[in-house]
Structures are given as structure tokens and as C-alpha cells.
Structure 1
Amino acid sequence: MTEFTRRTVLGLGGSAIALSALKGGEAWAQAARPIQTVAATMPNLPIESGATLRLIRPTRFVEPDEVIFRENIAKFTQETGVQVRADFVGWEDIRSQTAVTANTGAGPDMVIGWGDDPHVYADKVVELSDIAEYLGTKYGGWMFLADKFGKRARSNNWIGIPMGGSTGPIVYRISAVREAGFTEIPQDHAGFLRLMQALKRINKPGGFALGNAVGDGNGTANWLLWSHGGYMVDEDGKVAVNSRETIASLNYLKELYPTFVDGTLSWLDPSNNRAYASQQTFLTPNGVSLYFALKNDPATRAIAEDTDHAPLPRGVATGTPQSATILNAMVFKHTRFPNAAKRLIAYMMEGEQYDRWLTGCLGYWSHPLRAYSNSAVWDSDPKLAVYRNGMDHPFWSGYKGPITQASGTVASEYIMIQMYASVASGQATPEAAAREAERRIRRYYR
């Protein structure tokens, strides 16, 4: 098999499905069903004379994400006359470009960045409560994570419009799990450890990213912490990472790590996709796109047929201990055309545009508005069920504290994943690793 990168893997699924989803717009339209709405009045936002817009957003990993996104923008231009330039930026680069825009007061009018980003620049972005309230009223309300990441901490003021979130439940080979003596993925820590040990014994190991990966690495760290009842800061923003729960999670990783396929300490976001597709690992957390990439490529279709999904093991958590990698739209105050920017965001979230994008993306960006739970994409394949409520998990960046510049900085500097990696590699004891993480995090929470 040729080498897989994340973009290759996700592009395979995207390119295959794009042909059916986009050819004349017919296939997706036939699969669609009416999205239930209620009457709502669009805010009075007259578009400024001569308005033009530029936006940046993360690059597509599923081809229809970009194709349909650009088509929806073209429709907006046709209907309003507003010319829109959309630039797709690498996942690792979007935050640095956003920082330049915020600090110079120049550049893109809008950024569709990551979940924490509007909170990092809360004083430099336009309030979006008017369109958030309109969309929430019309489309059944906002899901938990959308509400959490959209509103400024400790207020009802919206500073971002979450457009969707990519979640990472367990992706596994059905035959391997059965060969290991299990019929499902255990939800308790001890049972999951036994499964992973059994997979290692039959030479079909699992693996979790322990490198500085934007999505997968932070996902590993958050799962370990939250599933043991730990949290980084408390409700008031007081650093609480150095706790017995964190120590328990680090000791658990000491037992779990030897079951992993080799190399996970250096895994970045592409790595587990490549390892799973090339049958080096048989269980890993990932988004829906890996499954569809495998399903829509003849060379890997048999792997897809033998693949299923399950929630991350809950451990002692009250809900599935994961969050989502969220696309969060913000408008900077330096724009000359704030009404046009708001109108564009609202337009992209309306049913005619959004459901087409959601369906074409195969549910890769799980929806933030409850009405889209009725989208036909969620019933198109039973293996998608675990992604349907991806934006409703009760955990978030910096849990249990407020989402702020501090939480965003800690995530971007990979402090939590480095805490776990140091223990897995044997460079630190659990107690020393927790103390070091506490020291580093305190620099941002004052």
C-alpha cells in the first residue's frame, strides 16, 4: 500500500463521495430531508455599500468541505453582490495568521478558526449575538459545545459562531476486537486495558497519539484526564491539575502505553490515519473521515467493512469524556463591512446551504444547531451514529473553567499532552509530571 498522509486518507473519501454529492447537486438533494425550523426574524443588517470580504479558514481534509463551502459563498455573492475571497490555511498555521490579524488590525475581515480563538481575541472581535439568537431560535437551539464556545465567558454575549466540530471516538477493526475476546469496547478503565493488552498479544495493537497533535494529541490527554474525574482548572479558573485524579490517570497510562503500537510518542494528526489504513494499528480515536476514506477507496474497502466506532471509554466520567475540534467563526473589529460579514455567516448556517455542506462532508463537522440532528446524513450509515451528537459532549477546552485566552494558550502549547508523554516515555514520574504541568499552566491563569 502506498504511504498515507492525513490529507491523502481524507482526500480519498472526499473525492469519491464528491462525485456523487456534487454532480449536478442531485445525489445530495435526493438524500436530503426537510430540516424542521420555526419562524424567526433575521436581524436588520443592511449590507454596506461596496462591501467586499476576505476570510481565512482551516484547509479541507474532506474534499466536499471546500467544494461545497466555495459554492455556498458563490451563491451568497450572486444573491447579494458581495465579493468574498476565501483562503484555506493549514491547520497548524491558522492560529499564527489569526494572531497577526488581531495584533495588526489588518488582513482578513473574518476568521473561521478553532474553538478557543475568539476568546483569545475577545476584545478585538465583533459581537455576534444578533445572528446567534436568530439562528438558535430558527433551528431548535444551539448544542452544548456551540453555546459554550460561542459565548464570551460568564456572559450571554456571542463572540463566535461555531459552525461544526470534528470528534474523535474509538475507530476499531471488528474482527481484531473479536479475536481478542471482546464483543464491544469496554467503557471501564480496567476492561479497556484488558482489551488493549489482548490486542497487543495477538499482534493487532491499538494506539493513541502522544505527540504534539492539534486534535489527536490533545484528545488523548483530555480523555485520560476527564475519564478519571480530573480537570485542569476549577469553575473559578483556579489551577487544579495537580490532583489525585490526574495522578491516577498518569499511572493508568503507564499500564496502557506498553500496549500501543510503536511510535505513538511522535504521532501527529496524520499518523494514526496512516497507521490504521496500513494495518499497523487496529484501534485508535479518530473522526468520521477515516472510515469514509477507507470505504470509498477500492483498495481499502474491506478494511472499512471491518471497521466500526464506539464512544471513548467513560471511566468514572458522567458523560463521554471528549470534546470536539470546533470551527468557530469570528469577525474582527477592523472590518469596514461588519454587516456583510454577519450576513455571510448567517447565510452559511441556513438550511439550504448548511445541510448540503453537512451531508457532503459526511458529517465530518458535526452540526452545532439541534435541527440538523434530523439531517439525512446521520441515517445514511449506522456506523455514523456515534458522531451525531458530537457537539453535545459536556466537556470543553480548559474544563471545568471558563474558556479564555488562558485555556486557548495552554491547548496551543500542548502542556497537557506533554505531561502525559513525559510519563509514557519514562522521563518523569506521575507526581513530577503533574507538578510541572501545574507550574506551566499557572503562567497563564493569574
Structure 2
Amino acid sequence: MNALSRRRFLRGSLIAVAGVLAASCQPKVVEKVVERTVEVEKVVEKVVEQTVEVEKIVTQEVIKAADPGPKMTVWAPKHFIQAQNDYFTDSVLLAAARNNFEAEVQLFPWGDYQQKQNAAIEAKTLPDIILGINVARYSAMDILEDVDDLFQEIGASGGGWFEANEANVKIDGKAVGIPFHNEPQVMYYRADIFAEAGYEAPPKDLDEFVEMTKAVTDPSSGIYGFGNTFSDVPDGNNIFWGFLWAFGGKVQDENGEIAFNSQESIDALTWYTDLYLTHKVMPEAVTGWDDTGNNKAWLAGQCACIYNSGSILNSMRTDDPGFAEHVVVGPTPAGPAGPKTYQGGSTAGIMKGTKSFEQAAAIIREILSPERYPNNLRSAGGMFYPVLKNYESDPFFQDDPWNKATAAMVQYAQFAHQPGPITAWIDEIGGKWTFSRMAAKVALSGVSPAQAVEEAAAEMAEMKAKYENI
């Protein structure tokens, strides 16, 4: 019994203890639950606080997005055709309006444009976008943003880039510029004036060019066979490329070695400067012409032939349609290496240090969009030709006889670096007016063609060495 009583006692004790424990623990459990409830409430308070903070952040971001921020600056050349200047500017401003930022366009005459860029590079005050960059040179200077993704995107929307344009903006397989337009340089001939002298077609070669321009030159009547400036402007510099190539000359060979100091270069320079010095088929005033000098002389009926882009076509159509009926175009007359012409045009670059790459990309995307690009070309009135394949068949280029004839000159066109690789130093030939200064030395200062070519080749060697040491 005692054992049983003990077991019962123990059981009773356990029950009692359990009861005591239950009684003693119950409030503590409740307290813990209450404490946990308080903790949960604190967590809820934190969530509420975080929610308020998130709302504040979102509000701040919306306000910030509405702020256009710093104004984007675009530099571009001021062309002879105001309609193109206006349409290009409107394209930039439209991109800004559609993407909620501000932009300004600053236009500069071609004759001053390269110096403006050089000064900005030196002072580190570049704009966000430059239309008219020196691709290889600026890439070597490391002042261009990588735009390969943008290049691919725009190319896809426009049916692909023409091969030459694509090759002209790629460094090590990546695009560092966006082509904007092609501008084949051509010879314009007054068919009516040459017909009066007994010539029914443009000259077939350089010798016949001299013969024909001499035949129509009549200083007493203010008529000259040909006109082009020797000044440091694009027309003064670029014209020599076609003559150089026609004689078989080049600035570099296939391996990128300088090859300018050659008999072909001397022959080309002699032939060109003799038009002024010996044959006297150019007016004396060419020594003071700027880049619009030949345009003005042509439209005034003072020259029977000039070298230019399509800007002249637009002026003739607008100001004197009857004048245009007597005009034909062609490449630089054939020399020993055949007919050649210089492939002009422009390329846009986004400069390192831009205030906003995305906004700069939006501007270029708008300019070359299917909505805007066709009229960016058409507004130039025959001066601009497409870099994207979708626009080659545009009726503007196929139905107009002058535009179609100019477009056909592309088959004779070359870029400055050919036959060698694209390289930075060659861009400086244009930037430093190497050819126009070379020709002026001969035509105006009595330097021999051989010496002028030798000095130009020495300048090229310095240009090349500078970039090799960067």
C-alpha cells in the first residue's frame, strides 16, 4: 500500500506539479504571445514606414524624369542649301521634343568647320554630337563613343548599310560613327556653251578636257572653261583626289605605307595647276574664292565647267529651271587610270563626355528614321545620296534625270584611304588642307610641282608618325 500510496502520491504530485506548472506557466505564455504580437505590430510599422519611403522615392524619380536636364548640343556643317539645314535642325529638335529633353543645333560653314572641331578638341569643349567627324583620326584620339549597337539597329531599320559606308566607320570590327549621307563629287558641264564650240559630249579624257575648256574660254566676255578655288576649303582640297587617282597616284599603298611622292602625283599636280597658270581657263578671282565661289560663278554663267556636289542642282532647279536643261554631269575625266571621283559625305559621332549617350542616340535615331531620313536626303535637292539600301530606289533618285546621273557617278567614287586601310592620319589631309596648300604653292607662289609634292609627302609622314606614337 505504501508503495501504491507512493505511486499515487507521485501521480498526485505530478498532477499537482503539472497543475502548478500549468497555473504558473499560463500567464507567461500569454505574455510571450502578447510580446510576439507587439513584435508583429512593430514589423507592420516598419513595413508602413518602408512603403512611405518607397512612395517618396518614386515621386522623386518622376519629378527628375520630367526635368529635361542639360541641353544637348549638336554641331553640323552649314550647307549651301538652306532647306536641308532647316530640315536637319528640325529633326534634332523633334527628337528632343519626343524624348523630353532640350537640344540646340549649331551650324558652321565648311571652310571653318574643321578648325572649329580642332579648337574644341584642344580645349576639351566638344559638343555631344558632331556631324562630319574624321572617323579614324577621332577614334585614334579616343574621343568617340562606341556606337556599334546603334549602328546595327539603324542599319536593320533601313535595309542595311552600303558596304563602302560600313567599312568607312568601323575600327577593329566595331562602328565608331554613324553614316549620314553620300555626296559624290562630279563635273558639271554647260552643254549649250560647249555645243557652240563644236563639242557634243563631255570630254572623254584629261587631254580633251584641256582642249574643250580652252576652246570656250573668252575673258572679254567673262566666260571661262573651268573654275575652282585654291583656298583652304573643301572644294579647294577635295578636287585633287580625282585628278590624283586618274593619273594612278595614291597617298598610301595597299599595306598602308605612304606612296604620295611619286611621278603620278607630280603629273597630276602639274596638269591641275596648268589649268590656271598655262592654259588660263580659270578666272583670276579663283585665288580668293571661298567654298561657294564656284557655285556662284557657275550660276552667274561665268564658268562652263565646275567641280561640285549636288548642291548646284538644287539651286538651278529653284532659281532657273531653264538653266538646268543645258547641264550634264560626269566624273573627273579619264586619265591613265581611268575616270575617278571623290566620295564625299558625312558621318555622325557621339563624343566622349556627352551629357547623355541615350539622348544623343535618340537624336541620331530620329535623323535616320524611316519617317525623317528620306526628306533629310530630298531636302538637299540632289546633293545628298543614301547610305542605307532601302532608299536607293526612292523615286527622287530614280525619276529625276540629274539625280540619277549623279547617283551613277558612285561607281567611279573612292574614299581617301583607298587602296590602303582606313587610317587616322589620312583624315588630316583634309583637316590641314594639305592638297589645297600644295596646289596654291605652285599656282600662286611659283614652287615647282615636284617640290610641292615632296613637301606634302613630308607632311604626310609627320601625320602618320604622330598617330603611330599615340
| TM-score, normalising length: structure 1 | 0.80
Distance 1:252 1:75 in 2: 48
Is the Cα contact below 8 Å between 2:93 and 2:104 reproduced in 1? no
Q: Structure 1 residue 237 and structure 2 residue 259: aligned? A: no
Please tell me whether Structure 1 or Structure 2 has the larger radius of gyration of its CA atoms. Answer: 2
Aligned position for 2:311:
289
1:137-179: CA deviation from partner (whole Å, max 9, x where unpaired) = 3323322442243223xx2211111211333211121111212
Is the Cα contact below 8 Å between 1:110 and 1:329 reproduced in 2? yes
- State the SS of the aligned residue for 1:296: helix
Among candidates 221, 224, 229, match of residue 205 of structure 1: 224
Distance 1:327 1:197 in 2: 35
Paired AA for residue 306 in structure 2: T
Q: Structure 1 residue 261 and structure 2 residue 282: aligned? A: yes
Is the Cα contact below 8 Å between 2:99 and 2:362 reproduced in 1? no
Is the Cα contact below 8 Å between 2:95 and 2:362 reproduced in 1? no
Is the Cα contact below 8 Å between 1:209 and 1:268 reproduced in 2? no
Paired AA for residue 199 in structure 1: V
Distance 1:424 1:69 in 2: 38
Aligned position for 1:11:
none
Aligned position for 1:314:
334
Is the Cα contact below 8 Å between 1:196 and 1:206 reproduced in 2? yes
Paired AA for residue 207 in structure 2: A
Aligned position for 2:169:
150
1:122-271 to 2 correspondences below 5 Å? 122-152=141-171, 155-200=172-217, 204-253=223-272, 255-257=274-276, 258-263=279-284, 264-271=286-293
Paired AA for residue 203 in structure 2: P
Distance 1:158 1:122 in 2: 15
Q: Structure 1 residue 72 and structure 2 residue 94: aligned? A: no
Is the Cα contact below 8 Å between 2:275 and 2:282 reproduced in 1? no
- State the SS of the aligned residue for 2:342: coil
Cα 1:268–1:105 change in 2 (3 A) is: closer
- State the SS of the aligned residue for 2:264: helix
What's the RMSD between the two structures over aligned residues? 2.7
1:70-98: CA deviation from partner (whole Å, max 9, x where unpaired) = 33233323332132222222323332333
1:266-315: CA deviation from partner (whole Å, max 9, x where unpaired) = 43311111211222211111222223213322xx4432332222222132
Distance 2:119 2:181 in 1: 24
- CA apart distance, 1:318: 5.4
Cα 1:183–1:110 change in 2 (3 A) is: same
Cα 1:327–1:237 change in 2 (3 A) is: same
Cα 1:420–1:103 change in 2 (3 A) is: closer
Aligned position for 1:88:
107
| Structure 2 unaligned residues grouped into runs of 5+ | 1-63, 466-470
- State the SS of the aligned residue for 1:374: coil
Distance 1:135 1:105 in 2: 29
Is the Cα contact below 8 Å between 1:218 and 1:411 reproduced in 2? yes
Is the Cα contact below 8 Å between 2:186 and 2:331 reproduced in 1? yes
| Structure 1 unaligned residues grouped into runs of 5+ | 1-47
Distance 1:208 1:398 in 2: 26
Is the Cα contact below 8 Å between 1:144 and 1:393 reproduced in 2? no
- State the SS of the aligned residue for 2:72: strand
Distance 1:311 1:159 in 2: 30
1:391-420: CA deviation from partner (whole Å, max 9, x where unpaired) = 665422344344444212222222223323
Cα 1:117–1:293 change in 2 (3 A) is: farther
Distance 2:250 2:380 in 1: 32
Distance 1:157 1:323 in 2: 22
Is the Cα contact below 8 Å between 1:210 and 1:220 reproduced in 2? no
Q: Structure 1 residue 431 and structure 2 residue 459: aligned? A: no
- State the SS of the aligned residue for 1:125: coil
Greater Cα offset, 360-369 or 193-202 = 193-202
Paired AA for residue 191 in structure 1: E
Aligned position for 2:296:
274
- State the SS of the aligned residue for 1:126: coil
Paired AA for residue 282 in structure 1: A
| TM-score, normalising length: structure 2 | 0.76
1:1-16 to 2 correspondences below 5 Å? none
- State the SS of the aligned residue for 1:436: helix
- CA apart distance, 1:337: 1.1
Is the Cα contact below 8 Å between 1:65 and 1:357 reproduced in 2? yes
Aligned position for 1:366:
385
More helix by share: 2
Distance 1:222 1:186 in 2: 19
Cα 1:292–1:426 change in 2 (3 A) is: same
